[in-house]
Structure 1
Amino acid sequence: MWRFVYTALYLLALPVVMLRLLWRSRREPGYRHDLAARFGRWHAAPESGGIWVHAVSVGETVAAVPLLRGVEALAPSAPRILTVTTAAGRERAADLLGDSVHLSWLPWDLPWCVRAFLRRTRPRLLVLIETELWPNLIHECGRFGVRVALVNARLSPRSAAGYRRVGGLTRRMLAGLDVIACQDEASADRFRALGAPPGRVTCPGNMKFDAVLPGDLSARMDRARERLGLDDGPLLIAASTHEGEDAAVLRSFVPLLQRHPDWRLLIVPRHADRFDDVWRLLDRSALPAARLSAGEVPAGSRLLLGDLMGELLTLYGLADAAFLGGSLVRHGGHNPIEPAWHGVPVFSGPHLFNFADVAERFIAAGALEVVADADALALAMERVIEDEDLWQQRSDAARAVVDANRGALGAILAAVRPV
């Protein structure tokens, strides 16, 4: 009953979702590629018996690379399939993996779309990364005899409350998972409380700590550094910002940049459909502004808009300090691991409930500073940038947290192998 209602609502929403994708394709043409695959009609599908991994976007795709390599070692002859949801994720997957995997979109979560995809691929195992819980996908995999593992799973209190409201649907969906490998014990407890079979829930840790940085990252950073004209002076980045944060950060940081004529602020909105709105804020400000999508950044630009999808990992590598958006508003924050890979001191607002366990590790090590508002953020960044010893201490602490928490990947592969 619940899955029938879910499917009906999904079907009603699909035209709106498709229109939104077409709208986004104006800026990201990749969304127009192979649209038939979203309906399960993937004409380049590999032979049967493969291992299918699903990663939503860029961050999950980078984390999936060592997982896919580990899967190859477990089953060398099995085709490897990677599906993604975003155009940026697809582009990064093509860059990182080339022809070593069969790359496609995740089909719409409608029974007939999923069935069409499964008939073409006939995989032996589906590995879902993080909290990609799709009722029809999981149900149809069960009908086709495909084992399903949810790895690097996380579940915030807010998300758990949402799943609890549709308890019947959630329990049946979780019962269809053969492995639930969680990032932290709190998430594991929430999955169990929602009805996941306790014997299938484990807690190996966060495999994003095990991610291998792309081999071309250094070259990408050099090109970006030249494009931005970063010869001297610190670059501060406000990454994955959400509505309400950009204006607050701008108000607080313009006086800071006026005090330090060689400092620059780069704002990278979380969603592409907000690029133009944020640009209007920057363009009306008291300091010269530029868009990265325009090409070479004019000399003297102090405010920069990161309006290029899939480039955040590269931009983190150029930054001297990073603010994680979604944390000054009640979105729940974003993951500090990516800037920490580069040894960048990290700052956040108070709302970190989506990444509470990871954030606590960085806070305890002195690698992440939590501030109350945008004014406090500007002062905190200024203090760290001006104190070289403090900056180095924060940088070393960030790298140390990453190194200390590696190892989840091996445990995840061990959990998936019997499946």
Structure 2
Amino acid sequence: MLHSVSVGETLAAIPLVRALRHRYPPLPITVTTMTPTGSERVRWAFGNDVHHVYLPYDLPGAMSRFLDRVNPKLVIIMETELWPNLIKALHRRGIPLVVANARLSAHSAASYKRFSGFVSDIMRRITLIAAQNEEDDARFLELGLTKNQLEITGSLKFDISVTPELAMQACALRRQWAECRPVWIASSTHEGEETLLLQAHRQLLTRFPDLLLILVPRHPERFRVAREMTMKARFNYIMRSSGEVPSRSTQVVVGDTMGELMLLYGIADLAFVGGSLVARGGHNPLEAAAHAIPVLMGPHTLNFRNICSKLHEAGGLITVTDVPSLVRSVSALLSNEHYRLYYGRHAVHVLYQNQGALERLLNLLEPYLPKRSL
């Protein structure tokens, strides 16, 4: 059983689940989530190849009944969802629990320390934590984990790739949508960002009249809001779900479909990754980096601090702070191909340099899984 609470954790889990299915074909896999968007991503990625259910609230009776029904032989929790009653129930039943791709911010660690006795008791019941980096490793040790419960594997988020099939689809869609015009994408946007991005796009159109913006809100409930904002701002737009092909006069495509973000990145010349111009902590820039295109983000990148630091240090990430700086950066990238290629090349290089977490994690999981047939 693998638990990924929502979209971000589910995206990180996809390569792991695919690798487990490849290595252990007869192994039944149950994926649990807590949100409808996470559930949609599971269904999009695996269809009926895995069993999906929602994990119940962390109440003793509910967890006991759930485990009776699912009867897992191994439980993997993505990132750091520490559910006390689930952890206690698994320990009581002798079911191994592995926390994969684990991270622990300084803020979260400080919060946990206020309940050090309780947290230490929970920690000792976890079989293994596969931490993303040395900082996370040290914080888990401070909370009571022992060295033999901890391994540093790196971040699974680096273990993504553009498959040949996806590259072909993106190439075909680019020819169909915008063969001879520039395209930029603003992805995973939140309340307060779409307005700023549309203002920037209006200014950019004065210099690049053929420019196409693909605007993809983070959550499905914002699809309608983004459409209304785009319409109110008097842009010529279409919805991705309509199946229409953008005409030469189309200025904005509102991405209102699930599971297509990697494809849409593939037709863009550059990407702004949202949740970062507003204080939401930012979203994953590596999906854009995988396409070797420049990545822009606002200053709020707490959720991906280490990844963004690596990208920034390597010249693979441009930080913008407001509409004027966003317009300046996008203009510079669109008007200078060498500058654009430079940032795209450095972004994808960071991705390649830091891959390998998946293989390390699979090796750690091997003792808890059935023997592979040769």
- For the pair 1:380 / 2:329, whether they are aligned, the reply is yes
1:332–1:164: structure 2 CA closer, same or farther, 3 Å change rule?
Answer: farther
CA distance in 1, matches of 2:125, 2:100: 14
After TM superposition, the score normalised by the length of structure 1 is 0.79
Alpha-carbon distance between aligned partners in 1 of 2:22 and 2:42, rounded to the nearest angstrom: 19
**2:81 maps to what in 1?**
132
Change (3 A) 1:361 1:289: same
1:202 Cα deviation after fit: 2.1
Looking at structure 1, the residues matched to 305 and 292 of structure 2 have their Cα atoms a distance apart, in angstroms, of 20
Counterpart in 2 of 1:367? Answer: 316
**Residues 170 and 377 of structure 1: CA distance in aligned 2, closer, same or farther (over 3 Å):** farther
Match of 1:295 among 218, 240, 243: 243
Which residue is equivalent to 1:21?
none
1-structure distance, mates of 2:304, 2:59: 30
Secondary structure of the corresponding residue to residue 178 of structure 2: coil
Give the match's secondary structure for 1:366.
coil
**The residue matched to 2:213 in structure 1 has which SS?**
strand
Task: Note the residue ranges of structure 2 that are not aligned, 5 or more in a row.
Answer: 369-374
Q: Of 188, 195, 214, which aligns to 2:144?
A: 195
Could you tell me which amino acid in structure 2 is paired with residue 353 of structure 1?
A: L
Answer yes or no: is the 8 Å Cα contact 2:185–2:272 preserved in 1: yes
Residues 234-277 of structure 1: CA deviation (Å, up to 9, x unaligned): 21111111222222222233111222111022221212222233
Task: Write the letter of the residue equivalent to 1:171.
Answer: S
Is the Cα–Cα contact under 8 Å of residues 160 and 287 in structure 2 kept in the other structure?
no
The structural deviation recorded for 1:169 is 4.7
Q: Residue 327 in 1 paired to residue 276 in 2?
A: yes
CA distance in 1, matches of 2:121, 2:278: 33
Aligned residue for 1:268?
Answer: 216
Residue 116 of structure 1: which of 43, 65, 71 is its match? Answer: 65
Q: In the alignment, which of 265, 286, 289 is matched to residue 316 of structure 1?
A: 265
Contact 1:241 1:324 in 2 (8 A): yes
Correspondence 1:70-219 to 2 at 5 A? 70-72=19-21, 77-213=26-162, 216-218=165-167
1:351 alignment partner, SS class: coil
Count of matched residue positions in the alignment of Structure 1 and Structure 2:
367
- Worse-matched range after superposition: 355-364 or 93-102: 93-102
Give per-residue Cα distances to partners, 1:28-86, cap 9 Å, x unaligned. Answer: xxxxxxxxxxxxxxxxxxxxxxxx12234455444434423544577565422222334
Which of 77-86 and 254-263 deviates more? Answer: 77-86
**Aligned-partner residue type, residue 310 of structure 1:** G
Question: Compared with structure 1, are the counterparts of its residues 310 and 99 closer, same or farther at alpha carbon in structure 2 (3 Å cutoff)?
Answer: closer
Does the aligned pair in 1 maintain the 2:291–2:348 contact within 8 Å?
yes
Distance 1:78 1:70 in 2: 12
Go from structure 1 to structure 2 and tell me whether the alpha carbon gap of 1:72 and 1:270 turns closer, same or farther (over 3 Å shift).
closer
Amino acid in structure 2 at the alignment position of 1:249: L
**Alignment map for 1:14-53 (pairs within 5 Å):** 52-53=1-2
2:233 is aligned with 1:248: no
List alignment gaps of at least 5 residues for structure 1: 1-51
After alignment, is 114-123 or 68-77 more displaced? 68-77
- Distance in 1, matches of 2:151 and 2:240, equals 43
What is the Cα deviation at residue 131 of structure 1? 2.3
One-letter amino acid matched to 1:410: E
CA gap of 1:171–1:88, structure 2 versus 1, over 3 A, is: same
Shift of 1:160: 3.3
One-letter amino acid of the counterpart of residue 160, structure 2? A
Q: Distance in 2 between matches of 1:388 and 1:283?
A: 31
Alpha-carbon distance change, 375 to 126 in structure 1, aligned in 2, over 3 angstroms: same
How far apart are residue 351 of structure 1 and its match?
1.6
Moved more, 332-341 or 60-69: 60-69
**Structure 1's 63 and 193: CA in aligned 2 closer, same or farther, altered over 3 A?**
same
Q: Of residues 222, 232, 239 in structure 2, which corresponds to 1:284?
A: 232
1:254–1:286 CA contact under 8 A, matched in 2? no
Cα offset, 1:335, TM superposition: 1.5
The answer to whether the 8 Å contact 2:171/2:266 transfers is no
Letter of the aligned partner of 1:137 in structure 2?
L
Moved more, 190-199 or 68-77: 68-77
Q: CA deviation at 1:152?
A: 0.7
Q: State the shift of 1:340 in Å.
A: 1.0
Number of the residue aligned with 1:41? none
Return the letter of the residue paired with 2:262: L
Task: Measure how far apart 1:287 and its partner are.
Answer: 2.8
Distance 1:358 1:88, change over 3 A: same
Q: CA deviation at 1:324?
A: 1.4
Query: Partners in 1 of 2:36 and 2:197 — Cα distance?
Result: 28
1:394-409 equivalence runs, <5 A: 394-409=343-358
Residues 1:311 and 1:147: Cα distance change in structure 2 (over 3 Å): same
| Conservation of the 8 A alpha-carbon contact between 1:74 and 1:417 | no
* 1:151-175 per-position Cα deviation (integer Å, ceiling 9, x unaligned): 1112233433444455455433333
- Distance in 2, Cα, partners of 1:296 & 1:168: 58
For 1:54-65, list aligned pairs within 5 A: 54-65=3-14
